Amino acid sequence: MNTAAPRLVLCEPLLPEQQQNEALRDRAHVSGPASLIPRFYLDLYWVDDRHAYLRGFLFVAHTRTIALRHTAGGTEEAIHRFPREDIAPFFPDCVDADQAGFSVLMPFHPGAPLEIELATTAGTLRLAFVLAGRSRVSQTWKTESAYLAFVARANRAGARILEIGSRLVGQLSHMRSEDFPLAAQYVGIDIHPGTGVHVVCDAHRLSRVFRPASFDYAFSSSVLEHLPAPWRLGPELNRVLPLGGEVFHSTPFCFPLHETPNDFWRFSDKGLELIFGPDSGFEILGAGLACEVRCIPEWRDVLHELPLNPGYTEAWILARKVAELPDSAEATAETAARSRSYPSHEDDEEQRRLLSSQSGLPWRKDLSKIL
């Protein structure tokens, strides 16, 4: 096959503004057989000082793709591919739309090209992408996990621990009871039964289920955003903890919608201080934001500096009970019903597998002391 010198190829102008202004179109310097015509489009991307993330489609007209890869640190790595049937009506020369989509997070060094190798049945192309625009952001600093700091405090002999929202949902969930091997008692609650759940109950009504001072520590991870009335949790935890008992909560701050329709709230550390502060009988031992994130806006013309300023995916708080609270009204029936509308995942095959493999929960025989 005839191999020509690197040539410049523009992305396919799918957006109207790209059709009108060629300078807005991404491009690639292509090396390989001149007879091979690459077609590509980058739906979205971001670039910082260390990584680049690209998502779009890439194929060679009238030719099937064998592999898509990039080289990082001298090692070739395959790039994830997925179907893009949506492009078939616009590109009849795409013969394998079920493999045309791709996404990749790849190492990036300022000034270096973003190179991808496309192997096809008719030959191999190397593309060095030139992005029409990029958002440069500062270095992200790794922060210590506030949760691990809480574990170090609570994992002690004789401790009685309550986890709110303990049901395993999804592959990223794990049995957090394993983080507290020294605990004398570990109880997990959730609004639905499932793996990791010892007691099915509504977090808004803890004091109706558990006796006063039943636990020394209570915590939740990514749960508060799913409670219809999270401000009720502070007083309820107060009633099931002794003086000196501690709570820890982490919850999303900047994060996509998930577990809908019961994804109600986002919290800053200052918002958590309102919920688990003096009005709920607690003193705040620490609070903060963690896991820096960059937001790339749709309205880039008016929010063009937004990616330059850090956001945070997580807010957290550690607080200690210092005062008893008087009895107050219980959660309303409406709140209780809304809590139960949280997705049960009962039709999820992975959830059914977890339930069927469950061989019993620890400390179940001791629950009579606190229920």
Q: Per the domain annotation, does 139 fall within a domain?
A: no
In angstroms, what CA-CA distances link 108 with 53, 216, 280? 9, 47, 48
Which pLDDT does position 1 carry in this prediction? 43
Q: Per the domain annotation, does 138 fall within a domain?
A: no
Which of 130, 154, 188 finishes a domain?
A: 130
CB of 294 within 8 A of CB of 137? yes
From edge to edge, which strands make up the β-sheet containing 65-72? 3-10, 27-33, 123-130, 114-120, 65-72, 75-78
Do 111 and 242 lie in one domain? The reply is no
Do 167 and 264 lie in one domain? The reply is yes
Do 317 and 342 lie in one domain? The reply is yes
Which pLDDT does position 102 carry in this prediction? 96
Do 161 and 35 lie in one domain? The reply is no
Q: Per the domain annotation, does 136 fall within a domain?
A: no
Model confidence over 24-37: pLDDT tens digits? 889 999 999 999 99
Strand partners, 82: 101
Do 119 and 213 lie in one domain? The reply is no
From edge to edge, which strands make up the β-sheet containing 185-190? 199-200, 185-190, 160-164, 217-221, 246-252, 311-321, 282-293
Do 152 and 77 lie in one domain? The reply is no
Do 174 and 280 lie in one domain? The reply is yes
Q: Per the domain annotation, does 155 fall within a domain?
A: yes
Which pLDDT does position 243 carry in this prediction? 98
Task: Give dist(CA 235, CA 248) in Å, integer.
Answer: 14
pTM of the model: 0.72
Task: Give dist(CA 265, CA 263) in Å, integer.
Answer: 6
Which pLDDT does position 303 carry in this prediction? 83
The CATH number that applies at residue 59 is 2.60.40
Which of 130, 161, 181 finishes a domain?
A: 130
Q: Per the domain annotation, does 135 fall within a domain?
A: no
CB of 11 within 8 A of CB of 42? yes
Domain of residue 179 covers 146-369
Do 88 and 38 lie in one domain? The reply is yes
Give the amino acid at 84. Answer: R
Tally of structural domains, the chain:
2
Q: Per the domain annotation, does 314 fall within a domain?
A: yes
Do 106 and 248 lie in one domain? The reply is no
Residues (pLDDT < 70) of the chain are: 1-4, 72-73, 134-144, 171-172, 328-336, 338, 348-366, 368
Do 252 and 159 lie in one domain? The reply is yes
Do 97 and 186 lie in one domain? The reply is no
Which pLDDT does position 44 carry in this prediction? 85
Which of 130, 154, 175 finishes a domain?
A: 130
The CATH number that applies at residue 298 is 3.40.50.150
Which pLDDT does position 144 carry in this prediction? 65
Q: Per the domain annotation, does 137 fall within a domain?
A: no
Do 227 and 353 lie in one domain? The reply is yes
